[in-house]
């Protein structure tokens, strides 16, 4: 299975890069493709993580492809592994409430590509990729995962950040990119 991240943020924010690095670790560099990468600086940062294309996935003819979209009509199932070779994920940071950016900025421009959801809750991009890989490559179903909805991370005494997203629990702990907590603590905006 090949995983395509269609980068849809205006910049390659450090938060995106942290998640993309995690995704490369999850699926392997050889299985990861980035599309819609517009600058050579971004290309340079992403090349160690996967194959990089300037073109948007909208303009790349793909067969047996599926877009993961929270607003799709059908869930992703282990049987879909027979149907699809490419899984397309929106390189979009989480927002709350969801603005349906995957649909507005990706799915609606790819009319011939089927869409699938992973339930109604919004996963961070790296968690969405992990769940899709477990379903397609290890035959798991959506109700076999343990989840935590909303994560609160303490960044300083009396200060915390609330992330209103769905995280997979692995060994009882939310699945986070290595260095994610340290990254949040360093953010100036909090
Ligand atoms: C952090 S989410 C952003 C979703 C965005 N806020 C929206 O409203 O469409 C990044 C990507 O992960 C995937 N994703 C996250 N949660 C999902 C879900 N419940 N079902 C399907 N895909 C999901 C989608 O590909 C999505 O574009």
Q: Which domains does the chain have, with CATH numbers?
A: 2-141 (3.40.1280.30)
Q: In the predicted model, what is the mean pLDDT of residues 14-20?
A: 97
Residues flanking ligand 1, CB < 6 Å:
68-70, 89-90, 92, 94-95, 98-102, 117-119, 121-125, 128
Ligand 1 centroid distance, CA of 183 (Å): 22
Residue 103: band (very low, low, confident or very high) from pLDDT cuts 50, 70, 90: very high
Ligand 1 centroid distance, CA of 149 (Å): 14
Pocket test for ligand 1, best of 70, 77, 117, 124 (most atoms within 8 A of CB): 70
Output the CA–CA distances (angstroms, integers) from residue 52 to 30, 78, 121, in the order listed: 11, 28, 29
Global pTM reads: 0.97
Residue 25: band (very low, low, confident or very high) from pLDDT cuts 50, 70, 90: very high
Give residue 71's pLDDT.
97
- pLDDT exceeds cutoff 90 at 28: yes
Ligand 1 centroid distance, CA of 158 (Å): 31
Ligand 1 centroid distance, CA of 157 (Å): 32
**Cβ 62 vs Cβ 86: under 8 Å:** yes
Given the DSSP bridges, would you call strands 114-116 and 32-35 parallel, antiparallel or unpaired? unpaired
Give residue 65's pLDDT.
98
HEC sequence for the chain:
CEEEEEECCCCCCHHHHHHHHHHHHHHCHHHEEEECCCCHHHHHHHCCCCEECCCCHHHCCCCCEEEECCCCCCECCCCHHHHCCEEEEEECCCCCCCCCHHHHHCHHHCCCCEEEECCCCCCCHHHHHHHHHHHHHHCCCHHHCCEEEEEEEEEECCEEEEEEEEEEEECCEECCCCCHHHHHHHCCCC
Q: In the predicted model, what is the mean pLDDT of residues 68-78?
A: 98
- pLDDT exceeds cutoff 70 at 98: yes
- pLDDT exceeds cutoff 90 at 21: yes
Give Cβ neighbours of residue 134 (< 8 Å, ≥ 6 apart): 140, 145
């Amino acid at each position: 299975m090949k995983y395509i991240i269609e980068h849809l943020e205006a910049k390659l924010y450090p938060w995106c890069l942290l998640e993309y690095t995690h995704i490369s670790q999850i699926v392997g560099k050889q299985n990861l493709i980035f599309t819609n990468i517009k600058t050579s600086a971004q290309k340079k940062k992403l090349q160690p993580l996967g194959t990089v294309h300037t073109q948007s996935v909208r303009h790349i003819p793909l067969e047996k492809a599926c877009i993961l979209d929270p607003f799709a009509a059908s869930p992703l199932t282990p049987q879909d592994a027979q149907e699809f070779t490419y899984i397309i994920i929106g390189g979009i940071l989480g927002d709350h409430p969801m603005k349906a950016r995957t649909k507005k900025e990706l799915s609606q421009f790819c009319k011939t590509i089927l869409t699938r959801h992973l339930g109604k809750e919004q996963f961070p991009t790296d968690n969405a990729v992990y769940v899709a890989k477990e379903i397609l490559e290890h035959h798991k179903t959506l109700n076999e995962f343990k989840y935590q909805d909303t994560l609160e991370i303490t960044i300083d005494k009396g200060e915390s950040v609330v992330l209103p997203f769905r995280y997979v629990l692995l060994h009882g702990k939310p699945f986070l990119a290595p260095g994610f907590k340290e990254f949040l603590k360093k953010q100036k905006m909090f």
